[in-house]
């Protein structure tokens, strides 16, 4: 019973953290929310120079990287490798026809959900649980 509670808490903690951040920031958002995939989001898609909005999601290279970056800019250690890895993930999750990237927001969102919201966190969660199980087994021996 104690283990089930602990495992459930480990599972729920990242979701709780995300909800805490979003809901504590919600009262400070005054702009009109943007509608993405028929869903009304929290933030707007205004091209604001002072803060990030959905415009940074829609136009990362031409808006966010140009106007908002503070730390990870040219000269930062492994800057090129970080960029390659970052856009590698984006390209991997984008739809391709004959090897060429095509715009399909539903496909991109689904791929992001499958890999970055489900599969990768789930594998980390299972690795953590397995480590805790092995540690407990070790102390019992």
Is residue 46 part of the contact set for other proteins (CB under 8 A)?
no
Which of these, 76, 110, 78, lies nearest to 92 by C-alpha position?
Answer: 110
Query: What does residue 51 show for φ and ψ, rounded to 5 degrees?
Result: -145, 160
Minimum gap (Å) between residue 41 Cβ and other proteins: 4
Of 84 and 101, nearer to other proteins (C-beta) is: 84
Is residue 130 part of the contact set for other proteins (CB under 8 A)?
yes
SS3 content of the chain, % helix, strand, coil (to 5): 65, 5, 30
Q: How many CB atoms lie within 10 A of CB 44?
A: 16
Give the dihedral sign, CA 109/110/111/116.
positive
Please give the residues from 58 up to 97 whose contact with other proteins meets the rule CB under 8 A.
Answer: 60, 64-65, 68-72, 82, 85-86, 89
* Residue ranges binding other proteins (CB under 8 A): 18, 21-22, 25, 36-39, 41-43, 51-54, 56-57, 60, 64-65, 68-72, 82, 85-86, 89, 106, 109-110, 112-113, 116-117, 120, 123-124, 127-128, 130-131, 134-135, 137-138, 141
């Amino acid at each position: 019973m104690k283990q089930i509670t602990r495992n459930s808490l480990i599972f729920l903690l990242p979701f709780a953290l995300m909800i805490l951040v979003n809901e504590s920031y919600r009262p400070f958002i005054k702009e009109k929310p943007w509608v993405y995939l028929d869903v009304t989001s929290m933030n707007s898609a205004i091209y604001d120079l002072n803060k990030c909005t959905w415009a940074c999601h829609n136009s990362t290279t031409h808006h966010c990287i140009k106007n908002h970056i503070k730390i990870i800019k040219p000269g930062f250690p492994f800057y090129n490798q970080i960029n390659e890895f970052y856009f590698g993930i984006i390209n991997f999750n984008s739809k391709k026809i004959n090897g060429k990237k095509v715009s399909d927001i539903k496909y991109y969102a689904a791929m992001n959900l499958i890999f970055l919201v489900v599969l990768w966190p789930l594998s980390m969660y299972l690795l953590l649980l397995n480590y805790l199980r092995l540690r407990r087994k070790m102390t019992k021996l």
